[in-house]
Amino acid sequence: MVPNLLDFTGKTVLITGARSGIGQATAIAFARQGANVVVNGRSNADETLARIKDLGGEAIFVKGDVSVAADVQNMVNIAVKKYGGLDVAFNNAGLLPVTTNLVEQTEEDYDKIMAVDCKGIFLCMKYQIPEMIKRGGGSIINCGSVVSMVADPGMAPYVAAKHGAAGLTRAAALEYTKDKVRINAICPAFTGTEMTSGWMSDPDFCEMVKSFNFAHRIADPEEIAGIVLFLASPMASFMSGAVIPVDSAQTAH
């Protein structure tokens, strides 16, 4: 019988920014496949936790801000203490960009987005990698964006942060693949989430975003979650240092 290559039974998975959207969908998907899921958010992730429990899954919540080193170290320590180690991390937490031209962006705008969307990736890997090495290996998936690969106007700090996330992914993969810690990044196109709901309420904006990709639609969080599970699984055992568009050909054009 062919084994279930998406079986994460007995594996510990840490997901940042899992209160809603892509993080929530991914947490639920891992729980369905038997993982012990450590769910992170800056305030709460009550709905995510409840949905996992309703499935009969195993999960705990750890409050924390990925831009604060002590918070990141704490969430990793709790995951290891509770479940015995760390096997998979999906570093998904992020902020939406301030949408205005570069000269109108403030230093505060820049610092805020860089702290979460770039520094947060750095801090998460800094504390996750040693625990995965102790485990004999693991898989880290960082969440970038299509603007990790290209650029859009009106969000220069966000573009810089997401390019930084891609660069950190590649650099860390060069350093730690030898230790059997695989590190990849996904770069989703615009996805329908609670965080983007304000933008989605504008019909003209929605049509513009749809026009960017060749399916002419907005992604669902569950579609992004599937790529994360694949990258964490044995099916992706020879993948490390990849920065993968999940964008229905948007960046292929």
Which positions are annotated as active-site residues? 158
Side-chain half-sphere exposure of 94, counting CA atoms within 13 A: 29
Q: What are phi and psi of 68, to 5 degrees?
A: -115, 115
Residues 6+ apart with CB under 8 A from 109: 98, 157
3-state secondary structure of 71: helix
Whether residue 3 contacts residue 53, with contact meaning beta carbons closer than 8 Å, is answered with no
Amino acid (1-letter code) at residue 80: V
Whether residue 141 contacts residue 232, with contact meaning beta carbons closer than 8 Å, is answered with yes
Alpha carbon separation from 50 to 8, 56, 90 (Å, rounded):
20, 10, 20
- Nearest alpha carbon to residue 58 among 79, 74, 89, 76: 79
Whether residue 149 contacts residue 251, with contact meaning beta carbons closer than 8 Å, is answered with yes
CA distance 138 to 7: 15
- Name beta bridge partners: 40: 62
CA distance 123 to 140: 13
CA distance 53 to 59: 7
3-state secondary structure of 91: strand
